[in-house]
Amino acid sequence: MNGTAGPLQDTGRPLGSVAVQTHELHERIAAFPRWHYRFEFEGGVSTPVVDPGKVNRHEQRRRYFFDALLQVTGGSLAGRRVLDLGCNAGWWSLQALQADADFVLGVDIRQESVDQANLVFAAKGVDPSRYGFQRGDVLADDLGGPFDVVLCLGLMEHLARPVELFERIAATGAALVVLDTALSGARSSFFEVAHLDEPDAYGELVLVPTRDAVLELAARYGYETVALARNMTDYAGLEDYRRLRRLAFICSRGPSLAALPREAASPLLARWTTMLDAVRRS
């Protein structure tokens, strides 16, 4: 495996391989209007997070689905190339490298996110041959590859073309996909039309999946999928998970998922689905 970043054009400001000095790191961090993730650096420097609940949210999510990924891979991502879709400032890309991934490519449609990620990784002194961050449209640009693992975290609910998204994920050759998404409260296998409160570069109109829609979509592309049982120890900042309006899924074309805990479907949903299937067969 090599450190090729793929064909997308990297438009982020190059920072080099030497860690950014503490005296300028404060200024570089403060130049960004908003940070979604908290990163901590030597010298007591950290990125400001407007909502303190986000810190607990991201740590609980790490325990929830990233630890589940490592359970499937034997505790390490060594020997694997990882694609991080909608990478934001690279928090999950960093988790992958800390789990010994050979190489991580992060793709985000926002240049600000690419610039933040490049700053973070330079400040942490990460070997540039092990990562790349690219500005790109995950539905239009060549994602490169092949990859062994795809992280699709908080992205699907921002798109109006979820089927195309999964088709492109499958085309990377990844044997494992970690998908974390908002869920529709509708029953059975549906995509709910919704409008984003804050439209982004992908637009305002989106399709939010139900749990069953995710399972069926993944199966369409040859993936066995587990809806991960929630294991949060603190639901501060995680109300969407508590209400089952968001779940994470591990999808596999090869590695066994048998040991992963599965989130049980509600009895009401199971009864409704059974009735709907009976109507369809009549």
Of 278 and 212, which is predicted with more confidence?
212
Q: What is the pLDDT of residue 53?
A: 80
**pLDDT over threshold 50, residue 12:** no
Task: Write down the pLDDT at residue 202.
Answer: 62
What's the confidence (pLDDT) of residue 201?
57
130-180 pLDDT per residue, tens: 999 999 999 999 888 899 999 999 999 999 999 999 999 999 999 999 999
C-alpha 43/C-alpha 49 separation (Å) is 18
pLDDT surpasses 70 at 279: no
Dihedral of alpha carbons 282, 267, 179, 256, sign = negative
Average pLDDT over residues 85-92: 97
Q: Which domains does the chain have, with CATH numbers?
A: 22-281 (3.40.50.150)
Computed over every residue of the chain, the mean pLDDT equals: 87
Retrieve residue 175's tokens.
Answer: 């044997």
Give the per-residue pLDDT at 85.
98
Average pLDDT over residues 81-88: 97
Name all contacts of 195-200 with Cβ < 8 Å and 24+ positions apart.
Answer: 196/158, 200/109, 200/110, 200/158
- For the residues 38-60, what does the mean pLDDT come to? 90
User: If pLDDT is split at 50, 70 and 90, which confidence band does 17 have?
Assistant: very low
Among residues 122, 144, 124, the alpha carbon closest in space to that of 134 is found at: 144
pLDDT at res. 196? 74
For residue 8, name the pLDDT band (cuts at 50, 70, 90): very low
Report the predicted TM-score, pTM, of the whole model to 2 decimal places. 0.86
Per-residue pLDDT at 199: 54
In this structure, what token pair is assigned to residue 222? 């040859």
The residue ranking higher by pLDDT, 89 or 14, is 89
Taking CA atoms, 14 is separated from 18, 119, 227, 229, 232, in Å, by 11, 9, 39, 40, 38
